[in-house]
Structure 1
Amino acid sequence: MTQAALHPMLNVAIKAARTAGAIINRASMDLDILKINTKSPNDFVTEVDQAAEAAIIETLLQAYPDHGILAEESGRAYGAKHSEYQWIIDPLDGTTNFIHGLPVYCVSIALAHRNIVQQAVVYDPTRNDLFYATKGRGAFLNDKRLRVSKRTRMSDALIGTGFPFRRGDNFKRYMKMFEEIMTQCAGLRRPGAAALDLCYVAAGYYDAFFETGLNPWDVAAGSLIVAEAGGLVGNFTGEPDFLFQREILAGTPKIYGQLVATLAPYTRVITQEALDADAAAAQPPVDAAASKKPKAAAGAEGEAPKKRAPVRIKKSEDDAQA
């Protein structure tokens, strides 16, 4: 798919990603003067994340002012709140790598229509590598069509992952998964930028990738790129409901199926109630007068909020003991 044949919305996303990449590349030459804040233990944000995100949002909303925005650093503060179109943005995936000068990080931009990702861009500014996809039109690295690997045996598979690093993450649960998969495959890798990891599955560098604790902006773009390269993407039980489930599995069809058998017992059920509680906790505090006003229902005005049915799965030993 040549640049001229790209979808107009994808072209805007590419422009935004390259603009953010230029900001990141300039800042990478002066890491000593970088201002770093800690969002939570082991979770950092820099002025570069914020500047890159602002540039992306400005580019997108200039072209599509009626679209919604979901971004890592600013949440839903910008854009139209109830649009059917929503841009899902991670301005700098791999911030910890960036801070240390390790050149494994990227910009991730996806466009979802009614919660289904339609356009995706992941840009690696250190290598000038542009991964992109439009739903139904294939996935590409620069101008080269991507296909997942043809490997079918776990013993031959190279698998990417990410370690849990936030407070409250269940590290013991992860180590059990790690041990099971490590003994089945040819090797495990953890570079530290989930959006790039997913693109590496699409490119055939990895045969699969799995991680827990991820947010929509970490996986939205990469998941479409994997799917358009012929791979499968889902949660640990193999179902396609992964975007807000904080767990993701992607891989070649054969390897994916074998990993579902291993990872299904470790899945976590996330209900709509839990998602609503997380969303409420993320909202800024309101004054007492405002808090007494009746709350609007989720969704469009006059509509009842949609409920997500919990996924029923077998629980791990850790869960049973909790």
Structure 2
Amino acid sequence: MNDQQSNFAVGSKSFTAVAINCAAKAGEWIKTKLGNYTSLSLKYSAQDLVTEVDKGSETMIRNLVHTHFPNHSFLGEEGVEPGPEASEKALHRVRDEEYLWIVDPVDGTTNFVHGFPFFSVSIALAHKGEVIVGVVYDPIRDELFVAEKGKGAYVHGRRMEVAQEKALSDSLVATGFPADPHYARPMNMKGLNAMVPKVRNIRSGGSAALHMAYVAAGRLNGFWEIGLNAWDLAAGALLVKESGGTVTDTKGAPYDLGVRNVVATNGLIHDEMIGELDKAGAAG
């Protein structure tokens, strides 16, 4: 990267500042809509929900980004047709753009719909396919997780570090229950069944972005899930890496924007976690 790019800015406009501003404004608006949405639709399955709040949040973020960077590309969950094939095609079209904003406007829509206070806004910026800025904002707790490539990751202005447990048996890990009932969910359930006796305990909060942020903050030792998308993972992956953790696919290959089956850990339990998924035939 040249000096301009390494400072994560074009001219006087900071990429990170724009990402933070977008996440904060969208998150505060989402919070005002809690319990007050008016439309609810199904996308890919009965567990894959969307409201006008998801769409409004994405529109707000897109408009704010393009106000500052009108030539940047944008990939948001609500601009993509439902289903894994459509998601892969949408990413393929834009993944090599010079600057690509990758956005999940409400990560944890099912939680939002039910008033369960665990959802987030996830915003990442990739430069030629590599994530250089990641922001995850939890509006309920007013927690802002921020990372810049090579500059560390922070929450409440404090630098984050991953947890230091070295064994899976001492670890608190998280997973999710994918919306895809045909492949991803059965595969993830196989992994869950194998992992439960191997760990201290398992949590499933319902927001992959927040799970990744919690790994980065040392609140979880690891997270895995089958069948996710770039907008679920991009910001969180940078948070974990900049906090000293490890992010790969479930076979151990390095994270890139195309990863759909993910393992994110403190690094110390990574090989053991991948090994257990592999032994169970649950790596996807």
TM-score normalised over the length of structure 1: 0.77
SS of 1:253's partner is coil
Q: For 1:218 and 1:171, how far apart are their aligned partners in 2?
A: 16
Instruction: Please show how residues 1-322 of structure 1 align to structure 2 within 5 Å.
Output: 8-31=14-37, 34-41=38-45, 42-75=47-80, 83-264=97-278, 265-268=281-284
In 2, the alpha carbon distance for the partners of 1:82 and 1:198 equals 24
Deviations 1:24-70, CA, capped at 9 Å, x for gaps: 01111524xx2111112211110000111011001111111111001
AA of the residue aligned to 1:258: E
User: For residues 56-105 of structure 1, what are the alpha-carbon distances to aligned partners after superposition, in whole Å with 9 as ceiling and x for unaligned?
Assistant: 001111111111001000146xxx99741100000000000000000000
Matches of 2:64 and 2:140, distance apart in 1: 21
SS of corresponding position for 1:122: strand
Shift in CA distance, 172/95, structure 1 to aligned 2, threshold 3 Å: closer
2: CA distance, partners of 1:89 / 1:6: 18
- 1:9 maps to amino acid: F
Cα RMSD, aligned residues only:
2.0
Equivalent position amino acid for 2:55 in 1 = Q
Paired residue type of 1:137: K
CA 1:27–1:177 in structure 2 vs 1: closer, same or farther (change >3 Å)?
A: same
Instruction: Answer whether contact 2:107 2:122 (CA < 8 A) is retained.
Output: yes
When residues 250 and 82 of structure 1 are mapped into structure 2, their CA distance, relative to the original with a 3 A threshold, is: closer
Match of 2:4 in 1: none
More displaced stretch, 165-174 vs 187-196 = 165-174
Question: 3-state DSSP class of the match of 2:33?
Answer: helix
Q: Which amino acid aligns with 2:44?
A: S
Q: TM-score, normalised by structure 2?
A: 0.87
Distance 1:170 1:83, change over 3 A: closer
Amino acid across the alignment from 1:73 = E
1:92–1:263 distance in 2 versus 1, CA, 3 Å:
same
**Cα distance between partner residues in 1 of 2:201 and 2:252:** 22
Contact 1:242–1:248 (Cα < 8 Å) also in 2: no
Unpaired runs of at least 5, structure 1? 269-322
Residue type of the partner of 1:150?
Answer: Q
The SS at the match of 2:112 is helix
2: CA distance between counterparts of 1:242 and 1:87?
15
CA distance in 2, matches of 1:81, 1:110: 12
Q: Structure 1 residues 171 and 69, CA, compared in 2 at 3 Å: closer, same or farther?
A: closer
Deviations 1:110-130 (A, max 9, x none): 000111000010000111100
Q: Distance in 2 between matches of 1:178 and 1:81?
A: 31
CA distance in structure 2 between the partners assigned to 1:87 and 1:159 by the alignment: 28
Higher mean C-alpha deviation, range 237-246 or range 103-112: 237-246
Q: Specify the SS of the correspondent of 2:123.
A: strand
Larger Rg: 1
Contact 1:68 1:82 in 2 (8 A): no
Structure 1 residue 6: Cα displacement:
8.6
Q: Which ranges in structure 2 are unaligned for 5 or more consecutive residues?
A: 1-6, 81-89
